[in-house]
Chain A
């Protein structure tokens, strides 16, 4: 019998609906508004951090001087486009940063200077109102201070509730308007500075250091101010710097060869590109800028900022870019069963009738007995009966002469007593009960019936498979009997198996963590399709499992919210703390999910991978582009002395000037064209490494070879009419 799967709640995520990880689209206006910032970034004092673009800027300065000394339309056109190349690169970064700035502004509003009522001492718990307080600025609070916050006040700093319970409006950081409950003790004690208490009164112990509040960190993160280069980004920068050095040498070393070649062909007149002094400075710089990996160099930091931004858009705060990158490398995912893999409520999944009882009869009785049961289990029985037995849901008021028996902890049963139908003479009252196996069987026995051994076996079987058995009994016509057993089980969220299959294809092992016994755990693990499970897990077991995985060289990601999760969160490579969790958990993890949705771990992994893929793809594209640029520039420089080299001009570009200018223009324009891609990230679908590589090689490798041939040709066709191009 198959299991009905119910729609998982709390997964409202529009971005996933169309094609995996999306990102905010680029609004063309953003380009304009970011322009002043881009120009400001021309300052060499900051630009030198990006060695590729720094070289371009030096080249731009150098050619500007040359153009001033020996002006021509061609020279000024090249100079203009070289400067634009640098500006476009800065623009990419500025746009990426600009998207975070809006968020930062909202956060800053929440951070307005608040005052705090700091308790003078808190030696006697529960008597805070007698010890008195000082009114101090929020900035003066130190770790360990106690403050009291009442309805209508803003919580002055991050901390834990140590007394009281309150509803808190956290919309300032989560964007979620529904208030949440925060109470002392337990896993819901953490409060965030800048959020507002809506009711009641709480005492909060401050846990943050001054100026290091959660909001401070959020602001820094979304603005990209504290962005540190991630390990892979550093490695890529080194590779790009090496390529830049090679092309610098290639270009400069060409000069004596060019001088020699020109001298060997004295009959050839000087051209704009080549004179007796060798290749002109403007052309030399043009070649250099076209060859060095400007595309990826320009977009690299935008890719990193946008990656963090994509997380922020999903309400996930990564405390470091390193953690985002590590997410892409994760090979083991630890997932809590309840709330992540299963819905957390037990649901009816099967009706097992006793001998002599029809399945429909049992279903009808089970439904009848559950109509008044408003617990999730009770509702699930009604829903199941409707779905699988076509039984219309009846309202309790529909049945005449029915007396509803509510579920109580004492009776552990619910049901209905139906008065004898006056239309059917001789019929006695009908009583239907549903509830815990022992309770219902006792009820049947007490009313003269006897529970068969068979029912005992069914009940044991359900328990053994990890489910919860409920027994349905009735007294009809004075005869008491057991009708059958309802199999309740923890229901796996919809689509989890597919997600885990995807994970497996990506090379990620999923491990379910549960407090259930191994039997139950195994059953759910099999149903959900996870690779492994850890049953009866204690925090120590979790920590040990993480250590074991890490010793084998694997990177581990997990989610957690409780204080007892903190050690494991700290040990894991990617520890996502739920925002509802304790401060200890949030402190220990390297990401916080403001929606407190543990399933998001899977998306975080995808974003991490997408970040790396985007960098790799654009690096490939950038290098592949060079081939076409050579075909444009080499004949333009040397076909005058060696006419044979004009064979390389396979694009049949109009003139040497137009060829060189077209290559430079293409090189600059491609940066702007690719800004949306850098911000959005390369499309990512979970699949094996081989398939991913093939796909990306075709698009960005082969595409990177072909695209500039077309682009340069088109630009050449457009600019050939400009003065000095023929």
Chain B
């Protein structure tokens, strides 16, 4: 079997698996978020939190609850890192420095999982498990809660409320993420990923050097790292490390876990608004963009259009022979298309255009299929903007899923899509215009520019993957990227929740022949077009001076 055939089979089998799972999982999530019964465990949690699960929240209350929860998580995580030497299971590591602790806390609370540190040489087991792993679950559940709240905005009629944040958070964690992550961890252990609590093994290498091999609860964290589109690896090399990602088929499992929930959520959306076809339309947009991203990344990498790859026959630099070019490229596309940011190869070493694809995937706004929850709400906002322009062109006040898109809705949707490009571009520009920013570059020329552009794209879009190359654990970058992450996560969330509140209050408009159908290929194509064109127009000058300058001859 040729490399190309293998790569295609790999992608095709993923598509088949996702097609098979989206329905049961989507329906399951619909039941989870629509159900009225609380399990015994959940009741205990609610009592501990002091919340009434029956109480419905207006969007403002929902948003305040979410922000309060995130701020508390942030402080807890920061404290845990700063005090890790005073606590147990620290493996003897010193407390994490202030700026790094801030950066890491923000990174995990925002579901970004940007890692300015090496996990195995910075964080003890307690921080990894009680801090980072917990955030892997709850930050993902937060994203899903926001998506569900927005969907309720479309589904509800003249309602002041959009659900209860605490219920959505707890249910998402306990009923969706935990069981699947558990199953995923078992599979990964079976595939050779490690899971233990042992102290580092010290071995003497053949050359006589001493090497510490750190074990730990890797598989359990690995499963949620992918499932919750987190991406924060136990080890610095992330999914390229054989203890995190042992073989080609654990590689497949990890990509599958990354894409599992984001591709199933549109089904949940369809169920909740009572029009499955609307969900199919959304998932089609995601799938088209994702397939294009995966295919192009593969094409650019396999063609190996750069000097060294041409010389050695394949673009293998920065890629592991376990996976090869194609499976690395597919992983890279999947991790950047979702807001995962786990890596099994080094994007810095990709061909210029392959590297550009990983950036472009993120620049799409993490919507294809995007992070858990974040992908769906981002895509729905794009659908709202598309339907506005398209709706005008059919001569009616635009409507989406029965809700009118008026001035308020457009204002919120516009502010949503303004946030990330502004953070990425302003962040990059500031870094490029300042000595602290430039000093961190590994490479010079356009590639150095790409490194910094990538870092800000990744942080602002809450992806968390790194191009590598930039020395990011400096006070300047820790603070700057931390700000990008926190604004890139919570500003859009506030706008989305406000949008949800505005939509929920509306009475639905009945569908007629004059209503623009938003479930047909025509609309799907238009959302794809609007997304790609707007993103391309926004980032083209920056990309031209980075990867395009490097990649076009």
Measured between alpha carbons, how far is A689 from B544 in the docked complex, in Å?
Answer: 38
Asked whether B446 lies within 8 Å of A689 as measured between CB atoms, the reply is: no
Query: Which chain B residues (508-553) contact chain A, with CB distance < 8 Å?
Result: 508-510, 512-517, 520, 522, 526, 529, 533-534, 536-542, 544-546, 548-549, 551-553
* Interface assignment of A325: CB less than 8 Å from any CB of chain B: yes
Which partner residue on chain B sits nearest A332 by CB separation?
Answer: B512
Contacts of B392 in A (CB 8 A): 232, 236, 612-613, 615-617, 619
Residue interface mask A489-522, B partner, CB < 8 A = 1:
0000000000000001111110000000000000
Interfacial residues of chain A within 238-282, with CB under 8 A of chain B in the complex:
238-239, 241-242, 245-247, 249-261, 264
Quick one: given A252-B429, A619-B392, are A242 and B407 in contact (CB under 8 Å)?
Answer: no
A644 touches B553 (CB 8 A): yes
Q: Select B389's contact among A234, A257, A611, A616, beta carbons within 8 Å.
A: A616
Q: Identify the closest chain A residue to B511 (Cβ).
A: A507
Residue in B closest to A682 when the chains form the complex, CB atoms: B393
Q: How far, in angstroms, from A325 to B395 measured CA to CA in the complex?
A: 9
Contacts of A692 in B (CB 8 A): 393-395
User: Shortest CB–CB separation between residue B429 and chain A, in angstroms?
Assistant: 4
Stretch at the interface among B128-136, B183-191, B419-427: B419-427
A400, B426: Cα distance in complex, Å:
101
- Choose, from A95-103, A390-398, A620-628, the stretch at the interface: A620-628
- Among A257, A684, A690, A692, the one with the most B-chain Cβ atoms within 10 Å of its Cβ is A257
Let me know if A616 and B522 touch, CB within 8 A. no
A647 touching B552, Cβ below 8 Å: yes
Report how far A700 CA is from B430 CA in the complex, Å: 37
B510 close to A246 (CB less than 8 A): no
| A616 partner residues in chain B, CB cutoff 8 A | 389-394
The tally of residues in B whose CB lies under 8 Å from a CB in A reads 68
B418 touches A246 (CB 8 A): yes
Is B433 part of the binding interface, using a Cβ–Cβ cutoff of 8 Å? yes
Tell whether, in the assembled complex, residue B533 and residue A623 are in contact, meaning their CB atoms are under 8 Å apart.
yes
On whether the beta carbons of A648 and B389 are closer than 8 Å, the reply is no
Residue B473 is within 8 A (CB to CB) of chain A in the complex: no
For residue B487, give the distance in angstroms from its CB to the closest CB of chain A.
Answer: 14
How close is A649's CB to chain B, nearest CB, in angstroms?
A: 11
CA distance A684 to B432 in the complex (A): 50
Q: Is the CB of A254 within 8 A of B542?
A: yes
Tell me the bound Cα distance from A287 to B513 in angstroms: 41
Say how far A703's CB is from chain B's closest CB, in angstroms: 13
CB distance from B274 to the nearest CB of A (A): 15
Question: Which residues of chain B from 419 to 468 have any CB-CB distance to chain A below 8 Å in the complex?
Answer: 421-422, 425-426, 428-430, 432-433, 438, 444-446, 448-449
CB distance from B414 to the nearest CB of A (A): 3
Contacts between chains A and B (CB distance < 8 A), count? 222
The answer to whether A239 and B396 have CB atoms under 8 Å apart is: no
Alpha-carbon distance A115/B478, docked complex (angstroms): 80
Contact partner, B421, options A249, A642, A644, A696, Cβ 8 Å: A249
Q: Which residue of the partner chain, among A238, A261, A608, contacts B395 with CB atoms under 8 Å? A: A608
Name the contact of A253 in the complex, choosing from B402, B410, B542 (C-beta under 8 A). B542
Q: Tell whether A610 pairs with B395 under 8 Å between CB atoms, given A506-B514, A689-B514.
A: yes
Residues of B within 8 A of A287 (CB): 541
CA distance A505 to B512 in the complex (A): 9
Whether A257 pairs with B545 at a CB distance below 8 angstroms is yes
Which residues of B have CB within 8 Å of A700? Answer: 393
In the assembled complex, B280 has its CB within 8 A of some CB on chain A: no
Please name all residues of chain B whose beta carbon is closer than 8 Å to the beta carbon of A708 when the two chains form the complex: none
A554 contacts the other chain (Cβ, under 8 Å)? yes
Once A291-B537, A615-B392 are accepted as A-B contacts, the answer to whether A689 and B429 lie under 8 Å apart by CB is no
Question: Which residues from B are CB-within-8-Å of A647?
Answer: 552-553
A535 close to B (CB within 8 Å): no
A249 touching B508 by the CB < 8 A rule?
A: no
Minimum distance in angstroms from A663 CB to a CB of chain B: 14
A43: interface (CB < 8 Å): no
| A634 in contact (CB, < 8 A) | yes
User: With A234-B407, A693-B390 as given contacts, are A638 and B508 in contact (CB-CB < 8 Å)?
Assistant: no
Chain A residues numbered 200-232 whose CB sits less than 8 Å from any CB in chain B: 231-232
A232–B394 CA distance with the chains assembled, in angstroms:
13
CB-based contact A613/B549 at 8 Å? no
Question: In the complex, are the beta carbons of A553 and B510 less than 8 A apart?
Answer: yes
B503 → A minimal CB distance (Å): 14
Are A617 and B507 in contact (CB-based, < 8 A)?
no
Given contacts A246-B421, A620-B389, contact A689 B432 (CB under 8 A): no
A235 close to B (CB within 8 Å): yes
Q: Which residues of A contact B446 (CB under 8 A)?
A: 261, 264, 642
Q: How far is the CB of A234 from chain B (nearest CB, A)?
A: 5
Residues on A with C-beta less than 8 A from B438 are: 260
A645 engages B552 (CB within 8 Å): yes
Q: Does B87 contact A (CB under 8 A)?
A: no
Residues of B within 8 A of A627 (CB): 533, 536-537
B62 at the interface (CB under 8 A from A): no
B425 with A690: CB separation less than 8 A: no
Report the Cα distance A97→B11, complex, angstroms: 59
Are B432 and A260 touching (Cβ within 8 A)?
yes
Cross-chain contact of B407 among A231, A505, A638 (Cβ < 8 A): A231
A560 at the interface (CB under 8 A from B): no
Could you tell me the distance in whole angstroms from the C-beta of A36 to the nearest C-beta in chain B?
Answer: 33
Q: Do residues A257 and B449 form an inter-chain contact, with CB atoms below 8 A?
A: yes
Q: Which residues of A contact B422 (CB under 8 A)?
A: 245-246, 249
Chosen A-B contacts, 8 in total, with CB atoms closer than 8 Å, are A239-B388, A245-B422, A246-B538, A264-B445, A325-B397, A642-B544, A644-B548, A697-B390
- A238-B414, A257-B428, A619-B389 provided; 19 other pairs, C-beta below 8 A? A232-B392, A232-B397, A235-B407, A239-B389, A246-B422, A249-B425, A255-B433, A257-B545, A264-B444, A331-B514, A506-B513, A506-B514, A507-B512, A551-B507, A610-B395, A638-B545, A693-B390, A693-B522, A696-B394
Please name the 5 residue pairs, one residue from A and one from B, whose CB atoms are nearest each other, closest first. Answer: A507-B514, A616-B392, A609-B395, A507-B512, A242-B414
